[in-house]
Amino acid sequence: MNIVPPNNRALNDGRSNPEMIGRSRGFPFSILVALSIALIGAFAYAFNAWRWGTVPDTSWLITVIQRIGEGERLYQDVIELNPPFSIWLYVLPVRFANFVGITPECAVRLYTILICLAGTSLTGWMLAASGALKARSAAIVSLILFSMTVLISGNSFTQRDQIGAVLALPLLALTAWRIASPATRSPGPLHWLTAAIGACVFAMVRPYYAVVVIASALYLALRRRDIWTLFLPEFVLSGIGTASYLALIYFLYPDFFAKLLPLLRDTYMAYRMPADMLLLLAIPGVVLAVAYAVHRRLIDSPQFPDVLMVASLAAWLPFFIQGKGWPYHTYPAILFGSAALVVGLAILFEKHASGSRASLVTVAVAAILVGHMRFFPSERPADALVAAAFHRDDHPTVGLLGGGIETGHPFARMIGGRWIEPYCSDWIAVYANLREQKALAAGDMASAKRFETMAAQYFTGKKARLMRRLPQILIVDKRGQLVPEMLARFGFDTILARYDRIASTDSVEIYRRADKPPSIGALQHLPASGEPIAAGQVDRRAIVEAVPIRMIPIAASSRVLAE
């Protein structure tokens, strides 16, 4: 009796079963992709923790979330420069960390990896659904993009800009799909809903990035010669979502608009690096664009790579509008430009057996690495500083004299400290000095006096707060002349005299409160700032000239001066 198993019938009659063969080949590939994702994710988690740690802005936002959870009021007791979505974005992992008993930093790192996986996987799904790439090629592209976002994003890893840019990738894929618009394939509600959510997050992370979404919509309308494409569901929904968010925060946080926003317009938003310096910092974008131009002439269907490159070029506009020059402000432009090269190569290799693959890949990899170079430096605090201030089972209160967010964060959290100030640095004094010097150069004495008064009021309020509650650990930023001015002209030397210096590097000193009466000679603790400065002898121009870029932080905060 010859019994033929059902699964072998096709083989028994001499015919093959294409569906079964496809499944047998696809199963190992799926396992390989899953294992690759797991290995890349695990390595990225450990590598980012070791090399970059928690970046200053993210560390500060974690602190803000925890203080809000303890009952403090946003924009009143603790004040973040950015609208509240910057905080809402990290609430879930911080709450999850509290629930399972891990550190918020670990949870945020894992959360970012999962978001990068979601954004790149959905992009691959769009590529395969649109027919731009075969399913296997789309999976490989997703894997490469995932690796790129979690392994070489460096000091932009976990930044709001990174999260928003990764989640915007599906919108760009859908835009390319709309351009190609094959009759047999049209996106469904799940596609445009996914794209709209990602675009909403991107615009809410930083309102400037709405420019990228608008540029993509305009490019689609231009390519299809149809203005009505601007009203496609993904664009309409993203616009409604973003507008609803702005209306909601106006209702929930009136202090942000009534008090903080005018202060920001006077200080933070008014500062811009010189145009020539910004252009120099944008060179990586030029490198990516040139490399893409080399590849594009060989690609038969460049719709998706073209949309990515348009988005990359559009993302440089927010960089120039903000004018701060910080690396993570360039991340969306670099990610989109790098992704254009990756997707372009995938399309090229899938449709052509090019003999110059090695050279094309070499050019693309070199351009991508050049684009990401500014993300490689780390702002982790020196190990010697952390070791000197850290004591097991000790949770000291922490304060700062200085203008750099990276001076206090993540240092305060690394030593188990509690940040007691309502702001993350003395950024407002830095900006007031910058605006004062600009007004003096223009001969506007009234404005110069106003900004001088602003800085003086800030210093007076800060000193009063510190005197009411002296932190156990005091961080002193030695860069520039800001701190010497605080010591010489505003009496912070009497505060510093109550501390013993426990550690020092070229740019930072760490003090521990000695609980002793004030003594004379506190200024001698700042050798890196030059000779001790007597009262009234501070050169205010030197304060501005010596200000490093990161002394003017993006994720800083301050009490409103009407305190």
Per-residue pLDDT of the chain (563 residues; tens, 9 = 90+): 444 444 443 434 444 444 444 444 556 888 999 999 999 999 999 999 999 999 999 999 999 999 999 999 999 999 898 999 999 999 999 999 999 999 999 999 999 999 999 999 999 999 999 988 999 999 999 999 999 999 999 999 999 999 999 999 999 999 999 998 765 578 999 999 999 999 999 999 999 999 999 999 999 999 999 999 999 999 999 999 999 999 999 999 998 999 899 988 888 888 889 999 999 999 999 999 999 999 988 887 888 999 999 999 999 999 999 999 999 999 999 999 999 999 999 998 887 755 678 889 999 999 999 999 999 999 999 999 999 999 887 899 999 999 889 999 999 999 999 999 999 999 999 899 888 888 898 888 998 999 999 999 999 999 999 999 999 999 999 888 889 989 989 999 999 999 999 999 999 999 999 975 554 444 444 443 333 333 334 444 443 433 433 444 333 333 333 33
- Give CA–CA dist 426/129, Å, rounded: 51
Handedness of CA 311, 316, 317, 319 (dihedral sign): positive
Handedness of CA 224, 226, 230, 234 (dihedral sign): negative
Task: Quickly list DSSP for 344-399.
Answer: HHHHHHHH---TTHHHHHHHHHHHHHHHHGGGS---PPPHHHHHHH--TT---EEE
Residue 329: predicted pLDDT: 96
Q: Is 521 left (phi over 0), alpha (psi -120 to 50) or beta?
A: left
Length reported for the chain = 563
Can you read off the two tokens belonging to residue 524? Answer: 């001698």
Overall pTM > 0.85: yes
Residue with tokens 């399972």: 100
Half-sphere exposure of 446 (CA within 13 A, CB side): 0
**Beta-strand pair 397-401/418-419:** parallel
Residue with tokens 């993006």: 554
Q: How far is CA 402 from CA 139, 377, 467, 495, 551, in A?
A: 48, 21, 17, 14, 8
Residue 182: predicted pLDDT: 60
Q: How far is CA 285 from CA 123, 312, 368, 522, in A?
A: 22, 8, 10, 47
Half-sphere exposure of 76 (CA within 13 A, CB side): 8
Residue 123: predicted pLDDT: 97
